Amino acid sequence: MTKNRQMIKLITFDLDNTLWNATPVLINAENILYEWLQANTPKLSDKHSIESMHQFKGEVAKRNPDLIHSVSALRLEALKLSFQDAGYNLEHAELHAQKAFDVFKMDNKFIYLLAENEQDILSIVTTGWQNISLGDK
């Protein structure tokens, strides 16, 4: 009798504080985000310090328990609401929140690729929101 074996195609891990300590990377990304906010959206940075932004995000989490397990969605919603709290209208709040989130993501990326040749298994370690494409393969 022949067994039909399937090769494992993908194994995923949630990196944040599972395989590596993400805290220093997240703190750095938040500092860079806040510097971007100061340079690009002074109404927000005049109203909120980096510490009050953390508190604000915590309040948003309490009011939106459905976002607790989606850290990216929670961060984006907290950014949008903090822009509105600082006096930006909804359209500008959404636009600035997405730009700010993109700044945060760009500084909080960690990708590790390992492949010696085309026949080898490709290993990718990433924060999770990276868009990884293997092309035609």
pLDDT at residue 113, as a whole number: 44
pLDDT at residue 14, as a whole number: 64
**Residue appearing with tokens 């040749």:** 117
Kindly list the structural domains of the chain, giving each domain's residue range(s) and its CATH number in brackets, ordered by start: 23-107 (1.20.120.1600)
Q: Which residues fall within 8 angstroms of residue 30, CB to CB, at 6 or more apart?
A: 50, 53, 104
Higher pLDDT pick, 48 / 107:
48
Residue 121 DSSP symbol: P
pLDDT at residue 123, as a whole number: 56
pTM for the model stands at 0.70
pLDDT at residue 10, as a whole number: 67
> What is the rounded average pLDDT for all residues in the chain?
79
pLDDT at residue 15, as a whole number: 62
Residue 129 DSSP symbol: -
- In 3-state terms, what secondary structure has residue 16? strand
